[in-house]
Amino acid sequence: MARLVMKFGGTSVANLDRIRNVARHVKREVDAGHQVAVVVSAMSGETNKLVGLCREASPLHDAREYDAVVSSGEQVTSGLLAIVLQSIGVDARSWQGWQIPLKTDGAHGAARIMGIDGAFLTQRIDGGQVAVIAGFQGIAPDNRISTLGRGGSDTSAVAIAAAIKADRCDIYTDVDGVYTTDPRIVPKARRLDRVSYEEMLEMASLGAKVLQVRSVELAMVERVRTFVRSSFDDPDAPQIGAHGLPPGTLICDEDEIMEHEVVTGIAYSKDEAQISLRGVADKPGVAAAVFVPLAEANINVDMIVQNVTGDGSTTDITFTVPATDYDRARAVLAAATDQIGAHEILGSTDVVKVSVIGIGMRTHAGVAAACFKGLSSKGINIRAISTSEIKISVLIDAAYTELAVRTLHSLYGLDAA
Protein backbone atom coordinates (compact mmCIF):
# COMPACT_ATOMS: atom_id res chain seq x y z
CA MET A 1 0.00 0.00 0.00
CA ALA A 2 1.28 3.45 -0.95
CA ARG A 3 0.17 6.99 -0.22
CA LEU A 4 -0.38 8.85 -3.47
CA VAL A 5 -1.23 12.37 -4.57
CA MET A 6 -2.91 12.41 -7.99
CA LYS A 7 -3.07 15.73 -9.82
CA PHE A 8 -5.27 16.33 -12.88
CA GLY A 9 -4.89 19.39 -15.12
CA GLY A 10 -7.50 21.39 -17.00
CA THR A 11 -7.63 19.27 -20.16
CA SER A 12 -8.06 16.15 -18.00
CA VAL A 13 -11.20 17.59 -16.37
CA ALA A 14 -12.48 19.61 -19.33
CA ASN A 15 -16.02 18.18 -19.15
CA LEU A 16 -18.08 15.63 -17.26
CA ASP A 17 -17.01 12.75 -19.49
CA ARG A 18 -13.37 13.46 -18.72
CA ILE A 19 -14.13 13.91 -15.03
CA ARG A 20 -15.70 10.45 -15.11
CA ASN A 21 -12.51 9.14 -16.72
CA VAL A 22 -10.48 10.78 -13.93
CA ALA A 23 -12.73 9.11 -11.37
CA ARG A 24 -11.90 5.73 -12.91
CA HIS A 25 -8.18 6.46 -12.51
CA VAL A 26 -8.74 7.35 -8.85
CA LYS A 27 -10.91 4.28 -8.22
CA ARG A 28 -8.21 2.04 -9.71
CA GLU A 29 -5.70 3.26 -7.13
CA VAL A 30 -8.20 3.01 -4.28
CA ASP A 31 -9.12 -0.55 -5.31
CA ALA A 32 -5.41 -1.40 -5.30
CA GLY A 33 -5.34 -0.48 -1.61
CA HIS A 34 -3.58 2.89 -1.88
CA GLN A 35 -4.36 5.96 0.22
CA VAL A 36 -5.22 8.78 -2.17
CA ALA A 37 -5.45 12.56 -2.23
CA VAL A 38 -6.44 14.24 -5.50
CA VAL A 39 -5.62 17.78 -6.63
CA VAL A 40 -7.56 19.27 -9.54
CA SER A 41 -7.34 22.29 -11.79
CA ALA A 42 -10.27 24.23 -13.21
CA MET A 43 -11.92 22.87 -16.35
CA SER A 44 -9.97 23.74 -19.49
CA GLY A 45 -10.56 27.38 -20.47
CA GLU A 46 -12.47 28.22 -17.29
CA THR A 47 -9.69 30.23 -15.63
CA ASN A 48 -9.20 32.32 -18.79
CA LYS A 49 -12.93 33.01 -18.81
CA LEU A 50 -12.89 34.13 -15.16
CA VAL A 51 -9.81 36.30 -15.69
CA GLY A 52 -11.57 37.92 -18.65
CA LEU A 53 -14.62 38.68 -16.53
CA CYS A 54 -12.45 40.40 -13.91
CA ARG A 55 -10.78 42.55 -16.56
CA GLU A 56 -14.13 43.39 -18.13
CA ALA A 57 -15.54 44.37 -14.74
CA SER A 58 -12.64 46.74 -14.13
CA PRO A 59 -9.18 46.96 -15.73
CA LEU A 60 -7.77 48.04 -12.34
CA HIS A 61 -9.47 45.40 -10.20
CA ASP A 62 -8.64 44.54 -6.58
CA ALA A 63 -6.23 41.58 -6.51
CA ARG A 64 -8.02 40.07 -3.50
CA GLU A 65 -11.34 40.04 -5.33
CA TYR A 66 -9.61 38.71 -8.43
CA ASP A 67 -8.45 35.73 -6.37
CA ALA A 68 -11.97 35.19 -5.03
CA VAL A 69 -13.27 34.97 -8.60
CA VAL A 70 -10.58 32.95 -10.39
CA SER A 71 -10.23 30.38 -7.60
CA SER A 72 -13.86 29.34 -8.10
CA GLY A 73 -13.00 27.24 -11.15
CA GLU A 74 -11.12 24.68 -9.06
CA GLN A 75 -13.92 24.67 -6.48
CA VAL A 76 -16.38 23.55 -9.17
CA THR A 77 -14.09 20.80 -10.44
CA SER A 78 -13.32 19.41 -6.99
CA GLY A 79 -17.01 19.23 -6.11
CA LEU A 80 -17.96 17.56 -9.38
CA LEU A 81 -15.19 14.95 -9.08
CA ALA A 82 -16.23 14.16 -5.50
CA ILE A 83 -19.83 13.68 -6.66
CA VAL A 84 -18.76 11.35 -9.49
CA LEU A 85 -16.48 9.35 -7.17
CA GLN A 86 -19.31 8.91 -4.68
CA SER A 87 -21.59 7.69 -7.50
CA ILE A 88 -19.17 4.84 -8.30
CA GLY A 89 -18.77 3.75 -4.71
CA VAL A 90 -15.65 5.69 -3.64
CA ASP A 91 -15.78 7.54 -0.31
CA ALA A 92 -14.70 11.05 -1.33
CA ARG A 93 -15.00 14.61 -0.06
CA SER A 94 -13.96 17.89 -1.70
CA TRP A 95 -11.87 20.51 0.10
CA GLN A 96 -10.76 24.03 -0.77
CA GLY A 97 -7.25 25.30 -0.21
CA TRP A 98 -8.26 27.42 2.79
CA GLN A 99 -9.84 24.39 4.49
CA ILE A 100 -6.64 22.33 4.53
CA PRO A 101 -5.25 24.97 5.24
CA LEU A 102 -2.63 25.69 2.59
CA LYS A 103 -1.04 28.91 3.89
CA THR A 104 0.52 31.43 1.51
CA ASP A 105 2.11 34.85 1.64
CA GLY A 106 0.07 37.95 0.84
CA ALA A 107 0.99 38.34 -2.84
CA HIS A 108 -2.52 37.92 -4.23
CA GLY A 109 -2.55 36.54 -7.77
CA ALA A 110 0.98 35.15 -7.48
CA ALA A 111 1.22 33.87 -3.91
CA ARG A 112 3.91 31.52 -2.65
CA ILE A 113 3.21 28.63 -0.30
CA MET A 114 4.45 29.26 3.22
CA GLY A 115 3.36 25.98 4.82
CA ILE A 116 0.82 23.18 5.08
CA ASP A 117 -0.15 21.24 8.17
CA GLY A 118 -0.69 17.76 6.79
CA ALA A 119 -2.42 16.39 9.91
CA PHE A 120 -5.97 17.08 8.71
CA LEU A 121 -5.48 15.42 5.32
CA THR A 122 -3.52 12.54 6.79
CA GLN A 123 -6.36 11.80 9.19
CA ARG A 124 -8.87 11.78 6.32
CA ILE A 125 -6.95 9.49 3.99
CA ASP A 126 -5.89 7.20 6.84
CA GLY A 127 -9.60 6.67 7.40
CA GLY A 128 -10.03 5.53 3.80
CA GLN A 129 -11.55 8.72 2.40
CA VAL A 130 -10.29 10.25 -0.84
CA ALA A 131 -9.60 13.96 -0.36
CA VAL A 132 -10.36 15.93 -3.54
CA ILE A 133 -8.55 19.23 -3.22
CA ALA A 134 -8.97 22.42 -5.25
CA GLY A 135 -5.51 23.27 -6.55
CA PHE A 136 -4.02 26.68 -7.34
CA GLN A 137 -5.27 28.27 -4.13
CA GLY A 138 -4.62 28.79 -0.44
CA ILE A 139 -5.25 31.30 2.32
CA ALA A 140 -3.23 34.49 2.79
CA PRO A 141 -2.31 36.22 6.09
CA ASP A 142 -5.26 38.60 5.57
CA ASN A 143 -7.55 35.52 5.91
CA ARG A 144 -8.63 35.75 2.28
CA ILE A 145 -8.33 33.25 -0.57
CA SER A 146 -5.08 33.58 -2.48
CA THR A 147 -4.02 32.05 -5.80
CA LEU A 148 -0.59 30.76 -6.78
CA GLY A 149 -0.33 32.07 -10.34
CA ARG A 150 -0.91 30.21 -13.59
CA GLY A 151 0.04 26.54 -13.39
CA GLY A 152 -0.16 26.70 -9.60
CA SER A 153 -2.08 23.42 -9.29
CA ASP A 154 1.15 21.51 -9.97
CA THR A 155 2.77 23.36 -7.08
CA SER A 156 -0.25 22.67 -4.85
CA ALA A 157 0.01 18.95 -5.58
CA VAL A 158 3.73 18.70 -4.81
CA ALA A 159 3.34 20.76 -1.62
CA ILE A 160 0.49 18.53 -0.42
CA ALA A 161 2.51 15.41 -1.28
CA ALA A 162 5.36 16.73 0.87
CA ALA A 163 3.00 17.65 3.73
CA ILE A 164 1.37 14.22 3.95
CA LYS A 165 4.66 12.38 3.21
CA ALA A 166 3.28 10.76 0.06
CA ASP A 167 5.27 8.04 -1.64
CA ARG A 168 4.71 9.69 -4.99
CA CYS A 169 2.98 12.64 -6.65
CA ASP A 170 1.42 11.60 -9.97
CA ILE A 171 0.89 14.49 -12.39
CA TYR A 172 -1.74 13.45 -14.96
CA THR A 173 -1.65 15.63 -18.04
CA ASP A 174 -2.35 15.57 -21.79
CA VAL A 175 1.05 14.06 -22.63
CA ASP A 176 2.41 10.69 -21.57
CA GLY A 177 5.66 11.90 -20.03
CA VAL A 178 8.74 14.05 -20.54
CA TYR A 179 10.41 13.78 -23.95
CA THR A 180 13.96 14.43 -25.10
CA THR A 181 12.54 17.43 -26.97
CA ASP A 182 9.29 18.69 -28.47
CA PRO A 183 7.87 15.79 -30.53
CA ARG A 184 6.12 18.30 -32.78
CA ILE A 185 9.54 19.43 -34.00
CA VAL A 186 11.38 16.11 -33.78
CA PRO A 187 9.11 13.10 -34.44
CA LYS A 188 11.93 10.81 -33.27
CA ALA A 189 11.96 12.36 -29.79
CA ARG A 190 11.95 9.71 -27.04
CA ARG A 191 9.99 9.58 -23.83
CA LEU A 192 12.37 9.50 -20.86
CA ASP A 193 11.81 6.85 -18.20
CA ARG A 194 13.57 8.87 -15.48
CA VAL A 195 14.84 12.42 -15.16
CA SER A 196 16.66 13.98 -12.22
CA TYR A 197 15.16 16.94 -10.38
CA GLU A 198 18.01 19.17 -11.60
CA GLU A 199 17.49 18.21 -15.24
CA MET A 200 13.73 18.68 -15.04
CA LEU A 201 14.17 22.07 -13.40
CA GLU A 202 16.40 23.20 -16.25
CA MET A 203 14.02 21.79 -18.86
CA ALA A 204 10.97 23.43 -17.25
CA SER A 205 12.68 26.80 -16.90
CA LEU A 206 14.03 26.67 -20.46
CA GLY A 207 10.81 26.06 -22.32
CA ALA A 208 9.48 22.56 -21.61
CA LYS A 209 5.80 23.02 -20.69
CA VAL A 210 5.13 19.68 -18.99
CA LEU A 211 5.53 20.97 -15.42
CA GLN A 212 5.43 24.38 -13.80
CA VAL A 213 8.90 25.53 -12.70
CA ARG A 214 7.91 26.22 -9.07
CA SER A 215 6.50 22.71 -8.70
CA VAL A 216 9.82 21.20 -9.80
CA GLU A 217 11.75 23.48 -7.42
CA LEU A 218 9.54 22.33 -4.55
CA ALA A 219 9.81 18.67 -5.55
CA MET A 220 13.60 18.97 -5.56
CA VAL A 221 13.76 20.70 -2.17
CA GLU A 222 11.32 18.31 -0.51
CA ARG A 223 12.54 15.24 -2.46
CA VAL A 224 9.03 14.41 -3.67
CA ARG A 225 9.15 11.67 -6.31
CA THR A 226 6.99 13.01 -9.13
CA PHE A 227 5.56 10.93 -11.94
CA VAL A 228 4.29 12.50 -15.19
CA ARG A 229 1.74 10.41 -17.10
CA SER A 230 -1.26 10.78 -19.41
CA SER A 231 -4.80 11.02 -18.06
CA PHE A 232 -6.04 9.82 -21.45
CA ASP A 233 -4.59 6.34 -21.00
CA ASP A 234 -7.19 3.64 -20.37
CA PRO A 235 -7.64 3.50 -16.57
CA ASP A 236 -8.10 -0.27 -16.82
CA ALA A 237 -4.95 -0.90 -18.89
CA PRO A 238 -2.03 -2.83 -17.31
CA GLN A 239 -0.10 -0.53 -14.97
CA ILE A 240 3.32 -2.14 -15.37
CA GLY A 241 5.96 -0.44 -17.50
CA ALA A 242 9.56 0.62 -17.02
CA HIS A 243 10.81 0.23 -13.42
CA GLY A 244 7.46 -1.31 -12.42
CA LEU A 245 5.60 1.94 -13.19
CA PRO A 246 3.00 2.70 -15.89
CA PRO A 247 4.07 4.53 -19.09
CA GLY A 248 5.38 7.93 -18.07
CA THR A 249 8.41 9.74 -16.66
CA LEU A 250 9.61 9.59 -13.06
CA ILE A 251 11.30 12.74 -11.75
CA CYS A 252 13.52 11.68 -8.92
CA ASP A 253 16.83 12.04 -7.13
CA GLU A 254 19.96 11.58 -9.20
CA ASP A 255 20.87 8.56 -7.08
CA GLU A 256 17.85 6.67 -8.46
CA ILE A 257 19.17 6.89 -12.02
CA MET A 258 21.65 4.09 -12.66
CA GLU A 259 23.23 5.36 -15.88
CA HIS A 260 23.38 9.01 -16.86
CA GLU A 261 23.25 9.97 -20.50
CA VAL A 262 25.63 12.81 -21.34
CA VAL A 263 22.70 14.82 -22.77
CA THR A 264 19.14 14.18 -21.60
CA GLY A 265 17.19 16.63 -23.71
CA ILE A 266 16.99 19.72 -25.90
CA ALA A 267 14.71 22.58 -24.81
CA TYR A 268 13.84 25.86 -26.46
CA SER A 269 12.19 29.08 -25.37
CA LYS A 270 10.64 31.65 -27.69
CA ASP A 271 9.91 34.05 -24.83
CA GLU A 272 13.21 35.87 -25.30
CA ALA A 273 14.32 39.35 -26.30
CA GLN A 274 17.82 40.70 -26.81
CA ILE A 275 19.01 44.16 -25.78
CA SER A 276 22.41 45.60 -26.70
CA LEU A 277 24.03 48.73 -25.27
CA ARG A 278 26.69 50.14 -27.59
CA GLY A 279 29.58 52.38 -26.60
CA VAL A 280 29.25 52.09 -22.82
CA ALA A 281 32.17 53.54 -20.84
CA ASP A 282 34.45 50.75 -19.59
CA LYS A 283 34.70 51.74 -15.94
CA PRO A 284 33.58 50.45 -12.51
CA GLY A 285 29.92 50.90 -11.71
CA VAL A 286 28.56 50.87 -15.26
CA ALA A 287 27.27 47.28 -15.07
CA ALA A 288 25.48 48.17 -11.84
CA ALA A 289 23.95 51.23 -13.53
CA VAL A 290 22.54 48.89 -16.18
CA PHE A 291 21.31 45.95 -14.14
CA VAL A 292 20.23 47.48 -10.81
CA PRO A 293 17.36 49.50 -12.37
CA LEU A 294 16.21 46.37 -14.23
CA ALA A 295 16.25 44.38 -11.00
CA GLU A 296 14.31 47.09 -9.19
CA ALA A 297 11.70 46.87 -11.97
CA ASN A 298 11.49 43.08 -11.38
CA ILE A 299 12.84 42.32 -14.87
CA ASN A 300 14.86 39.11 -15.00
CA VAL A 301 18.09 39.21 -17.00
CA ASP A 302 19.48 35.97 -18.37
CA MET A 303 22.39 35.78 -20.82
CA ILE A 304 24.99 38.55 -20.53
CA VAL A 305 27.82 39.16 -23.01
CA GLN A 306 30.33 42.01 -22.71
CA ASN A 307 32.86 42.98 -25.38
CA VAL A 308 35.55 45.60 -24.74
CA THR A 309 36.72 47.69 -27.70
CA GLY A 310 40.30 47.55 -28.91
CA ASP A 311 41.38 50.73 -27.14
CA GLY A 312 39.72 49.65 -23.91
CA SER A 313 37.76 52.88 -23.50
CA THR A 314 34.26 51.57 -24.20
CA THR A 315 32.40 48.28 -24.11
CA ASP A 316 29.28 46.75 -25.62
CA ILE A 317 26.87 44.90 -23.28
CA THR A 318 24.33 42.44 -24.66
CA PHE A 319 21.79 40.55 -22.54
CA THR A 320 18.38 38.89 -22.74
CA VAL A 321 15.10 39.55 -20.93
CA PRO A 322 11.67 37.88 -21.22
CA ALA A 323 9.95 39.05 -24.42
CA THR A 324 6.99 40.26 -22.36
CA ASP A 325 9.33 42.65 -20.51
CA TYR A 326 11.14 43.95 -23.60
CA ASP A 327 9.40 47.32 -23.98
CA ARG A 328 9.49 47.94 -20.24
CA ALA A 329 13.21 47.12 -20.11
CA ARG A 330 13.93 49.54 -22.95
CA ALA A 331 12.04 52.26 -21.07
CA VAL A 332 13.94 51.57 -17.83
CA LEU A 333 17.28 51.78 -19.64
CA ALA A 334 16.29 54.93 -21.50
CA ALA A 335 15.46 56.58 -18.17
CA ALA A 336 18.93 55.65 -16.88
CA THR A 337 20.81 56.87 -19.97
CA ASP A 338 22.76 59.56 -18.08
CA GLN A 339 24.15 56.98 -15.62
CA ILE A 340 24.86 54.37 -18.29
CA GLY A 341 26.26 56.65 -20.95
CA ALA A 342 25.54 54.30 -23.89
CA HIS A 343 25.81 55.69 -27.41
CA GLU A 344 22.76 53.68 -28.50
CA ILE A 345 20.35 51.01 -27.30
CA LEU A 346 19.48 48.26 -29.78
CA GLY A 347 17.16 45.30 -29.43
CA SER A 348 15.43 42.37 -31.06
CA THR A 349 12.51 40.10 -30.20
CA ASP A 350 13.05 37.76 -33.14
CA VAL A 351 15.34 35.44 -31.17
CA VAL A 352 15.04 32.08 -29.42
CA LYS A 353 17.05 30.32 -26.73
CA VAL A 354 17.98 26.69 -27.42
CA SER A 355 19.42 24.64 -24.56
CA VAL A 356 21.29 21.35 -24.25
CA ILE A 357 20.60 19.71 -20.86
CA GLY A 358 22.14 16.70 -19.20
CA ILE A 359 23.47 15.74 -15.80
CA GLY A 360 26.15 13.64 -17.52
CA MET A 361 27.76 16.85 -18.79
CA ARG A 362 29.40 17.22 -15.38
CA THR A 363 31.82 14.41 -16.18
CA HIS A 364 32.16 14.63 -19.97
CA ALA A 365 34.29 17.10 -21.92
CA GLY A 366 33.54 18.39 -25.40
CA VAL A 367 29.77 18.80 -25.11
CA ALA A 368 29.87 22.55 -25.71
CA ALA A 369 32.36 22.24 -28.56
CA ALA A 370 30.12 19.70 -30.30
CA CYS A 371 27.14 22.04 -29.91
CA PHE A 372 28.93 25.02 -31.44
CA LYS A 373 30.40 22.95 -34.27
CA GLY A 374 27.03 21.34 -35.06
CA LEU A 375 25.23 24.68 -35.26
CA SER A 376 28.02 26.19 -37.33
CA SER A 377 27.77 23.35 -39.84
CA LYS A 378 24.16 24.38 -40.48
CA GLY A 379 25.01 28.06 -40.87
CA ILE A 380 23.39 29.03 -37.56
CA ASN A 381 24.96 32.08 -35.91
CA ILE A 382 25.15 32.22 -32.11
CA ARG A 383 24.32 35.62 -30.61
CA ALA A 384 25.00 34.78 -26.94
CA ILE A 385 25.95 31.81 -24.74
CA SER A 386 25.31 30.87 -21.12
CA THR A 387 26.28 27.71 -19.27
CA SER A 388 25.87 25.85 -16.00
CA GLU A 389 27.10 22.47 -14.78
CA ILE A 390 24.34 20.64 -16.63
CA LYS A 391 23.23 23.14 -19.30
CA ILE A 392 24.45 24.99 -22.37
CA SER A 393 22.14 27.67 -23.78
CA VAL A 394 22.61 29.57 -27.02
CA LEU A 395 20.67 32.54 -28.37
CA ILE A 396 19.96 32.31 -32.11
CA ASP A 397 17.69 33.86 -34.72
CA ALA A 398 14.14 32.54 -34.31
CA ALA A 399 14.00 31.44 -37.96
CA TYR A 400 16.51 28.66 -37.18
CA THR A 401 14.68 27.22 -34.14
CA GLU A 402 13.50 23.94 -35.65
CA LEU A 403 16.75 23.35 -37.55
CA ALA A 404 18.81 23.93 -34.41
CA VAL A 405 16.66 21.63 -32.26
CA ARG A 406 16.71 18.83 -34.84
CA THR A 407 20.45 19.21 -35.39
CA LEU A 408 21.35 19.03 -31.70
CA HIS A 409 18.88 16.23 -31.00
CA SER A 410 20.56 14.05 -33.64
CA LEU A 411 24.07 15.21 -32.75
CA TYR A 412 23.80 13.89 -29.18
CA GLY A 413 22.20 10.60 -30.22
CA LEU A 414 18.75 11.32 -28.77
CA ASP A 415 16.73 10.18 -31.80
CA ALA A 416 14.60 7.10 -31.19
CA ALA A 417 15.82 3.94 -32.95
pTM for the structure as a whole: 0.87
54 and 64 in contact (C-beta within 8 Å)? no
Sequence ranges of the domains in the chain:
3-255, 273-348
Confidence of residue 376 (pLDDT cuts 50, 70, 90): very high
Using CA atoms, how far apart are residues 126 and 130, in angstroms rounded to an integer? 9
The CATH topology of domain 273-348 is Alpha-Beta Plaits (3.30.70)
Enumerate the known binding-site residues for ATP. Answer: 7-10, 173-174, 179, 184, 209-210
Q: Is the pLDDT of residue 208 over 80?
A: no
pLDDT of residue 243: 59
Instruction: Read off the pLDDT of residues 102-141 as tens digits, 9 standing for 90 and up.
Output: 999 999 999 999 999 999 999 999 999 999 999 999 999 9
Enumerate the known binding-site residues. Answer: 7-10, 47, 74, 173-174, 179, 184, 209-210
321 and 273 in contact (C-beta within 8 Å)? yes
Using CA atoms, how far apart are residues 314 and 239, in angstroms rounded to an integer? 63
Domain 3-255 matches domain 273-348 at the CATH topology level: no
DSSP letter at 68? H
Q: How far is CA 201 from CA 65, 133, 212, 267, in A?
A: 32, 25, 9, 11
325 and 282 in contact (C-beta within 8 Å)? no
Enumerate the known binding-site residues for substrate. Answer: 47, 74
3-255 CATH: 3.40.1160.10
Q: Span 277-304, mean pLDDT?
A: 87
